[in-house]
């Protein structure tokens, strides 16, 4: 069998707390390709963990692996599978292994927050990448040299990343198409009862109008402007001018459809981002205050305590994304 005819090999690295949904969607696409009526084995794979021990997903289910991190064949494709609490799954051993293997020229990628691990290894500088929307704000702040896109998956040269979840299917279907053509990719999609695979630039979340059930176009536009301008908030007057309304008309729209003032809604968006950063990064309260557009630390602390019943200095979580520049 020639190298061209040989099954394309994958090495899935399971990191504790990984998303089982994202991993299963990616693996199942490869598995189904091997069921094609041509009776050809298109792919094979192995599952790895740092120690070779079984790995627990974030939902508590444990997956056995084929072995520990070892030297790969240079034709293998590495996929880092991560999810919640990603920082605690990162070690010098994993990062050093990644750097060493990637230098050999193979494709490599990540599901969900696995993007963070690739970045920590120094493998994503200047690359277009994505991650799950829940981690996007934190990763954008922590990794300023990485081009973070609001996409369900990205492919930049030999690097591929995905938002995880069902988006892992879309990414793997695209890789199958690139490897073996559209017919096989379509057949696999049909087997998955996935009749409309999505392109990379498909939004990760429902539109703002769908999420909020706002049907007024001007109001939806104002809310989107706020969502896009957290670090440097616009005034109600500036937003009104952009959408072609008076400030009074904007206030009436918010009162009618949202039940609060534009200023109050904007504050809520900024506080939500602040809470994400405090829980997911090791940023100081001052850094978060600035990143979320607050001019005064005292105003930020007072607003945060009023919204969440806790001071920002006491907020935190077990899944902080810590930039370990020295690793």
Stretch 34-54: mean pLDDT: 96
Q: Is there a contact between 79 and 18 (Cβ–Cβ < 8 Å)?
A: no
Produce one character per residue of 77-100: b if its CB has 16 or more CB atoms within 10 Å, e if not.
bbbbbbbbbbbebbeeebbebbee
Average pLDDT, the chain: 88
pLDDT recorded at residue 24:
95
Beta carbons within 10 angstroms of residue 301's beta carbon = 16
For residue range 160-198, list pLDDT tens digits in order.
Answer: 999 988 999 999 999 999 999 999 999 999 999 998 888
Q: What is the C-alpha to C-alpha distance for residues 169 and 22, in angstroms, rounded to an integer?
A: 8
For residue range 94-106, list pLDDT tens digits in order.
Answer: 999 999 999 999 9
* Phi, psi for residue 317 in degrees, rounded to 5: -160, 175
Beta carbons within 10 angstroms of residue 120's beta carbon = 23
Distance of CA 168 to the CA centre of its chain: 11
Q: Is there a contact between 275 and 315 (Cβ–Cβ < 8 Å)?
A: yes
- Burial classification of residue 52, based on how many CB atoms lie within 10 Å of its CB (0-12 exposed, 13-18 middle, 19 or more buried): middle
For residue range 197-234, list pLDDT tens digits in order.
Answer: 887 777 665 555 555 556 678 888 898 899 889 989 99
User: Which stretches of the chain are assigned E, i.e. beta strand?
Assistant: 8-14, 43-49, 55-56, 62-63, 67-68, 77-81, 108-111, 128-129, 147-148, 153-156, 159-162
Going by C-alpha positions, the residue among 202, 197, 122, 82 that lies closest to residue 154 is 202
> DSSP secondary-structure letter at 135?
H
* Phi, psi for residue 57 in degrees, rounded to 5: -75, 175
pTM attached to this predicted model: 0.74
């Amino acid at each position: 069998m020639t190298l061209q005819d040989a099954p394309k090999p994958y090495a899935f690295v399971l990191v504790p707390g990984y998303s089982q949904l994202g991993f299963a969607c990616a693996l199942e696409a490869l598995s189904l390709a091997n069921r094609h009526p041509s009776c050809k084995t298109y792919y094979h794979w192995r599952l790895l963990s740092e120690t070779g021990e079984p790995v627990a997903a974030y939902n508590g289910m444990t997956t056995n692996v084929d072995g520990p991190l070892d030297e790969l064949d240079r034709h293998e494709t590495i996929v880092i599978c991560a999810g919640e609490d990603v920082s605690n799954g990162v070690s010098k051993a994993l990062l050093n292994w990644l750097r060493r293997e990637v230098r050999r020229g193979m494709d490599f990628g990540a599901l969900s927050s696995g993007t963070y691990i690739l970045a920590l290894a120094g493998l994503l500088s200047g690359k277009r990448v994505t991650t799950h929307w829940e981690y996007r704000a934190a990763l954008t702040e922590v990794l300023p040299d990485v081009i973070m896109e609001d996409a369900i998956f990205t492919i930049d040269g030999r690097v591929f990343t995905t938002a995880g979840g069902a988006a892992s299917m879309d990414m793997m279907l695209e890789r199958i198409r690139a490897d073996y053509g559209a017919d096989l990719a379509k057949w696999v999609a049909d087997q998955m009862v996935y009749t409309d695979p999505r392109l990379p630039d498909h939004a990760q979340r429902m539109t703002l109008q769908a999420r909020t059930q706002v049907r007024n176009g001007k109001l939806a536009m104002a809310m989107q402007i706020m969502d896009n301008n957290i670090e440097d908030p616009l005034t109600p007057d500036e937003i009104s001018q952009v959408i072609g309304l008076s400030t009074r008309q904007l206030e009436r729209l918010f009162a009618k459809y949202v039940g609060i003032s534009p200023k109050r809604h904007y504050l809520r968006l900024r506080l939500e981002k602040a809470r994400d950063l405090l829980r997911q990064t090791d940023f100081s309260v001052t850094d978060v205050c600035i990143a979320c557009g607050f001019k005064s630390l005292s105003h930020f602390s007072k607003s945060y305590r009023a919204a969440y019943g806790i001071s920002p200095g006491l907020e935190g979580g077990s899944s902080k994304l810590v930039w370990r520049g020295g690793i």
